Structure 1
């Protein structure tokens, strides 16, 4: 922690929590066992970001494509989601963390949706870390839903096509008012962003780690932030 400059922190960290299934398979267990053991990694990541003073943390929890997984696994994930929210919200609230959900919440089972809405309402006035849980989310879905809102506004005469710009578009994304992603971390060894925060990650620093998500700990997050602070971020410009 003492090696990290608090003057150069990423304002928004996004994480693709990959490797749960392989972690479970290596232990001869069902994939849901890996998801269950990934909760500790979530807790430590949230704690590390809160302690550092990071403003926003977005976790890729369940993508729109994940609905195509075997029913037993999807049902297990949804049941785990219900239980985890119930267990963790008191801890989040105590630590001044504000819980939000991005994605198509209408696609969630009723119990999971109600629990998430309750957690969001409980923590809505907290002023610390904003924790975005990406559920039934994809970057393409987010861009399409924002585009539909803009098209509707143009159709109704609220705005003209010429008035559409990056700021207007960004305001309609599910992550608003979070800033664009500064640091995107993916565990599990794969080098792709898998339809995650496509617009918001335009200039994100990407960090791909071999560690499987259930083994991810606070030290890995701190290492990632240190790595981020060594990057030369030019945003298409030069320093000359």
Structure 2
């Protein structure tokens, strides 16, 4: 009875949220945190937590398709993950290899024309994972229906540092002048950049930090951020809709702020123009009369 009531309440809340959501962010990025804690809470091995988290990932893809999200970036393996115990790393590599291959062969991926790409320093990954990345990317390379980016061996600071070094080398080689360095020169040297800037970052597991994730594409675009307490395997459609609602509320607030600033600027400019006109009228009688030929030229130009 209690489970039925909880399920009914969640279904009702989901319908309410769906009515409140009007549209969706174009690009959502997710920090999938809490897999290991979820497993420990249930008395299971960490590997079970990652398996459960992989199921949530598949559901999120469906929710994105339903709402019209165009791009999803998943933080699957950070550079800090290389510091984890070897056994955990190997299991993650096994899971990544399995899921990348599975996604590349999935009918819905091809039906929805999903393009799969890896972003990060993938050369640091085991060869079997690199092969799976190449397989998934090659099988979906021509698709443009939805962009799925998998961040592997990814670290935001390392990415920006690599881009800066690339620019410095180009300048040293004489291929690029320091004064000509622009945003495109930086972006072209990032790890296979996402298609577009990030609109919304979601982090599960209770921590309120973005953990070095997509600093160029998220912080630069002032992306909205949604932190929630459920561990990644527990992340639900209600949580996803709440995140999208947070994004929309923030966007509405930004639009109001921009409109208020524009109105204030117009009013200020209007005051300046009125004052200038009063000053001009005050001194108009003291200004010399224009020569007759100039006046005539002005009249003929009308």
* TM-score normalised by structure 1 residue count: 0.92
Distance 2:34 2:70 in 1: 26
**Structure 1 position 175, deviation (Å):** 4.8
Which structure features the higher share of helix residues?
A: 2
User: With CA pairs under 8 Å and 6+ residues apart, which has the higher RCO, 1 or 2?
Assistant: 1
Which secondary structure state, in structure 1, belongs to the residue aligned with residue 254 of structure 2? coil
Question: Is residue 13 of structure 1 aligned with residue 28 of structure 2?
Answer: yes
Q: Which runs of 5+ in 1 are unaligned?
A: none
Tell me, yes or no, if structure 1 residue 103 matches structure 2 residue 123. no
The residue aligned with 2:218 is 201
**Contact 1:50–1:128, Cα closer than 8 Å, also in 2:** no
Q: What CA distance in whole angstroms lies between the structure 1 residues aligned with 2:72 and 2:26?
A: 9
Counterpart for residue 215 of structure 1: 234
Query: How many equivalent residue pairs?
Result: 237
| Structure 1 vs Structure 2 CA RMSD | 1.7
Corresponding residue of 1:174: 191
The equivalent residue for 1:63 is: 78
CA distance in 2, matches of 1:88, 1:186: 23
Higher mean displacement: 159-168 or 110-119? 159-168
The aligned runs of 1:1-240 (5 Å cut-off) are 1-6=18-23, 9-91=24-106, 92-176=109-193, 178-202=195-219, 203-231=222-250, 232=252, 234=254, 238-240=258-260
Q: Deviations over 1:170-205 (max 9, x none)?
A: 333225352221100000000111111112211011
Cα distance between partner residues in 2 of 1:78 and 1:65:
14
TM-score between both structures, scaled by the size of structure 2 = 0.74
CA distance in 2, matches of 1:53, 1:205: 18
State the alpha-carbon separation in 2 of the partners of residues 79 and 175 from structure 1: 23
**What's the offset of the Cα at 1:238?**
3.7
SS in 2 for 1:38: helix
- Distance (whole Å) between structure 2 residues aligned to residue 133 and residue 167 of structure 1: 22
Q: Secondary structure at the match of 2:225?
A: strand
1:130, CA displacement in angstroms? 0.4
Residue 109 of structure 1 deviates from its aligned partner by 0.6
Question: Could you say if the C-alpha distance between residues 127 and 215 of structure 1 is closer, same or farther in structure 2, counting changes exceeding 3 Å?
Answer: same
How far did residue 120 of structure 1 move?
Answer: 0.5
Q: Distance in 2 between matches of 1:148 and 1:51?
A: 41
Moved over 3 A (4+): 232-235
